[in-house]
Structure 1
Amino acid sequence: MTDFILPSNTNYLNFRHRLPDKRLAPWVQCLWSMGGSGDVTEPRTEKFYPDAGASLSIKLASSHPIITLCFNRRTLIETLDAYTPCMGIRFKAAGVHCLLGLLPEAFTDKPQRLDDELETPGLQGLMHVVERLYQLDAQQGLRLLETWLLHRLASHPPASSRITTMVQAIGELQLPPQQLGATLGFTRRTLERKLKREVGVTPGQLVAYARLNRARHGLLETTLSLAEIALQCGYYDQAHFTHAFQSLAYETPAAYRKRKLSQIYKA
C-alpha cells in the first residue's frame, strides 16, 4: 500500500527493521524492533500516518508483555522511549485479515490490548512466541516472529488474493477504485462492502491515504512547489491539496516540509 517512511531521528531509539520473507511480502510490510539500548533519553513524540495498514506491537516490559494491535486509519501521535525493548510486525492493508483472520471493524483506531484475543484462532501460538522473545536478541526475535507468521500462512493460506491486488492497485493510484473493481469482477457495492469488512476503510479513504503518502515523499525528496506536487498527486489544485493534507496529517504541507527537513538537517 505504501512505502515505509521512518519516523525522524530514530537512531536514539535503537530502531531496526527488516523486510519479510518473500512468501509474506503481499501482506507484511516489515518486521521491526526498537528500544533496549540502555540509552535513557527524553521521550520523543512521533507521528504515524494513516495507510490502512496495521501494527502488531509487543512491548517486553519487565513485569509482563504488552501486546497491542492498531489499525492505521488516522494519524496517531505517539510518545516513544528507548529503554523498554519492543518488537512488532507492520502489516499492509488487508494483511491482518488475510493472515490472521481478524476483522478491522472489531478494533478501534488506537492501539488496543490483545489480552482477551490471544486464544482466538488467528493468534494461536503468539503468547508462546512472546515469552521466548525475552531470551533472544532483536534479530533472533524478529526471525521467530516471522517463523510464526510463516506457520500461520502454511496452515491457513488466504482464500483469495483479489482484495490484496485491489488494495495495492488503489495505493499506486493506477485507476479509480470502481474501475479497478470492475476489472476484478467487483460491483461498486461489493467493493465497498469487502474493503470496509477486510481493510476497515472505504475506497475513497484508500485513495486519500495513497495521495498523502505520495505527497509526503514529494515534499521530502523533491524541491517541487506545492502546486506541482498537488498536480502530481491528483489533487484539484494547491488549495485542495492543503486542505486534504491538513485534515489527515494535522499540519499543512508547507509546515510538514519545513519540520521534516529541519529534523534531517539537524541529524
Structure 2
Amino acid sequence: MTEFILPSNANDLNFRHRLPDKRLAPWVQCLWSMGRPGHLTESRTEKFYPDAGASLSIKLTSPHPIITLCFNKTTLIETLDTTAPCLGIRFKAAGTHCLLGLLPEAFTDTHYRLDNELEPLGLQGLIPVVERLYQSDSQQGLRLLETWLLHRLESQPPANSRITKIVQAIGALQLPPQQLGATLGFTRRTLERKLKREVGVTPGQLVAYARLNRARHGLLATTLPLTEIALQCGYYDQAHFTHAFQSLAYETPAAYRKRKLSQIYKA
C-alpha cells in the first residue's frame, strides 16, 4: 500500500530488501533477508504497523526451518535476532489470497507456524525451495523465492483483479471505498464482504491503515507541523490525527517522530 520503511535497527540485523519483479508488484511489496550464518547479536525489538499485508518468513534453523505467516492487522512489537538467517516475502493487502490462494478471514490470529501445514495449504512447491535456501546466499535465496512466486503466477493467474484495484486505490486515498466499489460494480455490502474475506479487514480499516502509513512517511521525510500533516492525510484536524494515530501505533505522532529521528541520527 505504501513505500517500504526500513526497520530502525536494519544495520544491526543485516537487513536487506529488494523490490519484486514488476509482474509481482501488484501483490508483493518486497522480498527481504536478515541475519548471517553463525552471527550472534543481542535481540532487538521492532514495531510493525498495520496495513492488511502479510509476511511469509523462513528462518533457516538447524535441522529444520521455521516457517511462519504473519498478518499485519494491528501494530505488533516483535523481538528480532540474527542467530540464524531468515528470508521472507512481504505481501501487500490481498497478496496472499491472489498469489497463494489463502483467505485471511480463515486465519483468526496473527501468527501461524506453517512448518507442517504447507501441503494442506496448497504450498507444496515451497518445500524444495526452502531446502535450496540452505545452500544459497541471501541474494540467491531471494531470487529463488521470487522465481517460486512467478511460477505460481504463471500456473494460477490471480482472477480477482477488481479487489486488487480497489485495495490499491484505497491505499492511495483516492476516493471513499464505497465510491470506488461502485465504479467497479460492487454494492457497499458486497464490497465489505469481499474485502473481509479476501483481505481480512473492512474498507474503513484499510483507509485508517493508509492514513497511518502516509502520516508516518510525512513525519519522517518532512519537517511539516502536525496540523499540516493531519490535513494532507485526510484527518479532520490535529486532535483527530493524534487520537487516530495513537490508537493504531500506540504512541502519539510527536513521540513517533522524535523516536524514529533519534534512531536515524544515532545510526
Query: Does the pair score TM above 0.5?
Result: yes
Q: Work out whether residues 12 and 39 of structure 1, in 8 Å CA contact, stay in contact via their aligned partners in 2.
A: no
Q: Counterpart of 2:163 in structure 1: which amino acid?
A: I
Q: Which residue of 1 aligns with 2:213?
A: 213
Q: Which residue of 1 aligns with 2:98?
A: 98
User: Deviations along 1:201-250, whole A, 9 cap, x unmatched?
Assistant: 00000000000001001111111111111111111111111111011001
In 2, the alpha carbon distance for the partners of 1:88 and 1:251 equals 28
Q: Work out whether residues 15 and 35 of structure 2, in 8 Å CA contact, stay in contact via their aligned partners in 1.
A: yes
User: Deviations along 1:152-193, whole A, 9 cap, x unmatched?
Assistant: 111110112110000000000000000011011110011001
Gaps of 5+ in 1: none
Q: Work out whether residues 73 and 110 of structure 2, in 8 Å CA contact, stay in contact via their aligned partners in 1.
A: no
Q: Which residue of 2 aligns with 1:69?
A: 69
SS in 2 for 1:97: helix
In 1, the alpha carbon distance for the partners of 2:121 and 2:67 equals 16
SS in 1 for 2:122: helix
2:158 matches 1:158: yes
Gaps of 5+ in 2: none
In 1, the alpha carbon distance for the partners of 2:121 and 2:154 equals 14
User: Deviations along 1:108-155, whole A, 9 cap, x unmatched?
Assistant: 442210134311363121111111110111111111111111111111
Q: Which residue of 2 aligns with 1:84?
A: 84
1:97-176 matched pairs, under 5 angstroms: 97-120=97-120, 122-176=122-176
Q: Work out whether residues 65 and 115 of structure 2, in 8 Å CA contact, stay in contact via their aligned partners in 1.
A: no
In 1, the alpha carbon distance for the partners of 2:135 and 2:37 equals 16
Q: Residues 261 and 121 of structure 1: is their aligned pair in 2 closer, same or farther, counting only changes over 3 Å?
A: closer
1:1-267 matched pairs, under 5 angstroms: 1-36=1-36, 38-120=38-120, 122-267=122-267
TM-score w.r.t. length of structure 1: 0.97
Q: Work out whether residues 14 and 37 of structure 1, in 8 Å CA contact, stay in contact via their aligned partners in 2.
A: no
SS in 1 for 2:214: helix
SS in 1 for 2:248: helix
In 1, the alpha carbon distance for the partners of 2:257 and 2:109 equals 26
> 234-243 vs 167-176, which deviates more?
234-243
> 125-134 vs 30-39, which deviates more?
30-39
In 1, the alpha carbon distance for the partners of 2:202 and 2:208 equals 10
Q: Work out whether residues 227 and 237 of structure 1, in 8 Å CA contact, stay in contact via their aligned partners in 2.
A: yes
User: How far did 1:39 drift?
Assistant: 3.9
User: How far did 1:3 drift?
Assistant: 1.4
Percent sequence identity over aligned pairs: 87
Q: Work out whether residues 227 and 238 of structure 1, in 8 Å CA contact, stay in contact via their aligned partners in 2.
A: yes
Q: Work out whether residues 58 and 88 of structure 1, in 8 Å CA contact, stay in contact via their aligned partners in 2.
A: yes
Q: Residues 78 and 23 of structure 1: is their aligned pair in 2 closer, same or farther, counting only changes over 3 Å?
A: same
Q: Work out whether residues 13 and 37 of structure 1, in 8 Å CA contact, stay in contact via their aligned partners in 2.
A: no
In 1, the alpha carbon distance for the partners of 2:144 and 2:25 equals 16
Equivalent residues, number: 267
User: Deviations along 1:27-56, whole A, 9 cap, x unmatched?
Assistant: 111111100164422211000000001100
In 2, the alpha carbon distance for the partners of 1:223 and 1:76 equals 27
SS in 1 for 2:224: coil
SS in 1 for 2:31: strand
Q: CA RMSD in A?
A: 1.1
TM-score w.r.t. length of structure 2: 0.97
